[in-house]
Amino acid sequence: MVSQKVTIINPSGIHARPAGELAKVAKLCNSEVMLLVKDRALNAKSVLNLMAAAVRCGTEITIQCSGETEKEDLKRIVEAIKSGLGEAGEAYEGNQS
């Protein structure tokens, strides 16, 4: 099992569109992919679980991958989150005026 912390940069957090994008990327992974948010563990392959968590911009989460391709899958998920999950706009750090 491998894990990494990452901060959500989407200005509106993980709502429907980024949740769908994250689930789509996670479904390409052969590993089990979990997001640890506060005291909750979420299956990253489930759009409904991701949306129900109501993760806001600036929230630090931990991505956890377990399986044969866990290292590659962790990198794929982290890159997707850091890229904004398909949403164009300013990064979280850029919004701190």
The question of whether 15 is a catalytic residue gets the answer: yes
Asked which of 38-42, 60-64, 76-80 is least confident by mean pLDDT, the reply is 38-42
Residues 57-66, mean pLDDT to the nearest whole number: 96
Taking the alpha carbons at both ends of the chain, their separation in whole angstroms is: 38
Give domain limits for the chain. 2-87
pLDDT > 80? residue 93: no
Among candidate residues 15, 20, 66, 86, the one labeled active-site is 15
The answer to whether 4 and 82 have CB atoms below 8 angstroms apart is: no
pLDDT given at position 74:
98
pLDDT > 90? residue 94: no
Walk across the sheet containing 40-43 and list its strands.
2-7, 60-66, 32-37, 40-43
User: Nearest Cα to 11, choosing from 76, 78, 88?
Assistant: 88
Domain 2-87, CATH? 3.30.1340.10
